[in-house]
């Protein structure tokens, strides 16, 4: 049965998306491990359909918290966008292991750090997209990634503004990375448009 809104997804649909999330985070952990020359593990991903306020609460509840984000648009057989969010602790861990530096806040980051932020987010997003292409026969093109540093509330208005005409919900995927025994929170927000979401579910036999 075709759905008309994210909120119509049932438990079976969410289980399928969770499986894709597991494969995607596994790919992301492998890519990060190669980049950092460190073992990187992941926790079991959570996949939820959330509204704007619920997403803010799931990410920490503070709309004024400064976060880093990488955004990539998807085109082709699957249309939509993916947004990966960093908190400062996770970003500094990556910067320290890559460049031997850390920052007191996102606002202090220089051009090199912003470039690294963009690349790390892009690698993680591409890992998720590759998980889709492993499971479904879809041709997906990705835009050049863009990075931003802003308040959480402002960052989350981007996907809502882009697809608010279709739905006031978004797909939230959270699977923490474990590096050197320490767990780091991260969040991926995924918004395939409704037609694309139906194609995914149909390809996987649940639509």
pLDDT digits (tens, 9 = 90+) for 97-139: 888 899 999 888 888 888 888 988 998 898 888 877 877 788 8
**Residue 71 clears pLDDT 80, i.e. is over it:** yes
Q: Which CATH architecture has domain 6-203?
A: 3-Layer(aba) Sandwich (3.40)
Q: What's this model's pTM, rounded to 2 decimal places?
A: 0.86
Give, in order, the Cα–Cα distances in Å from 138 to each of 73, 135, 196, 204. Answer: 15, 9, 10, 11
- CA-angle at 199, arms to 196 and 200, nearest 5°: 90
pLDDT recorded at residue 1 = 62
Burial status of residue 164 (CB atoms within 10 A of its CB: 0-12, 13-18, 19 or more):
exposed
Q: What percent of the chain has pLDDT over 70?
A: 97
Model confidence at 142, in pLDDT bands (50, 70, 90)? very high
pLDDT, residue 163, reads 66
The tens digit of pLDDT for each residue in 143-179 reads 999 988 999 888 888 877 776 666 677 788 888 889 8
Highest mean pLDDT among 20-24, 30-34, 166-170: 30-34
Decide: 205 and 88 in contact? Cβ < 8 Å: no
Distance of alpha carbon 47 from alpha carbon 64, whole angstroms: 24
Q: Give, rounded to a whole angstrom, the gap between the first and last alpha carbons of the chain.
A: 6
Domain layout of the chain by residue ranges: 6-203
DSSP sequence for 95-114 = HHHHHS---SSGGG--HHHH
Counting residues of the chain whose pLDDT is more than 90, the rounded percentage is: 10
How far apart CA 124 and CA 84 sit, in angstroms, is 8
Length reported for the chain: 207
Query: What's the CA gap between 4 and 194, in Å, rounded?
Result: 7
Q: What is the spatial distance between Cα 133 and Cα 143, in angstroms, rounded to a whole number? A: 16
- DSSP for 170-189? EEEEE--EEETTEEE--EEE
Q: What is the pLDDT of residue 165?
A: 63
What Rg, from alpha-carbon coordinates, does the chain have? 16
Residue 207 has what pLDDT? 59
For residue 44, the SS3 value is coil
């Amino acid at each position: 049965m075709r759905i008309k809104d994210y909120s119509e997804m049932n438990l079976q649909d969410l289980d399928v998306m969770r499986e894709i999330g597991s494969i995607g985070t596994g790919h992301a952990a492998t890519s990060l491990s190669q980049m950092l020359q460190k073992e990187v593990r992941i926790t079991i991903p959570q996949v939820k359909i959330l509204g704007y306020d619920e997403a803010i609460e799931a990410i920490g509840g503070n709309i004024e918290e400064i976060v880093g984000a990488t955004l990539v648009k998807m085109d082709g057989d699957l249309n939509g966008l993916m947004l990966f969010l960093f908190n400062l602790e996770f970003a500094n861990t990556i910067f320290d292991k890559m460049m031997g530096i850390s920052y007191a806040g996102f606002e202090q980051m220089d051009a090199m750090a912003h470039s690294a932020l963009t690349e790390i987010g892009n690698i993680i997003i591409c890992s998720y997209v590759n998980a889709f292409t492993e499971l479904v026969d879809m041709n997906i093109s990705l835009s050049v990634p863009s990075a931003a540093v802003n308040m959480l509330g402002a960052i989350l208005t981007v996907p809502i503004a882009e697809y608010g005409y279709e739905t006031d919900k978004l797909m939230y995927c959270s699977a923490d990375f474990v590096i050197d025994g320490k767990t780091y929170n991260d969040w991926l927000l995924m918004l395939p448009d409704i037609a694309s979401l139906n194609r995914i579910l149909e390809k996987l036999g649940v639509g």
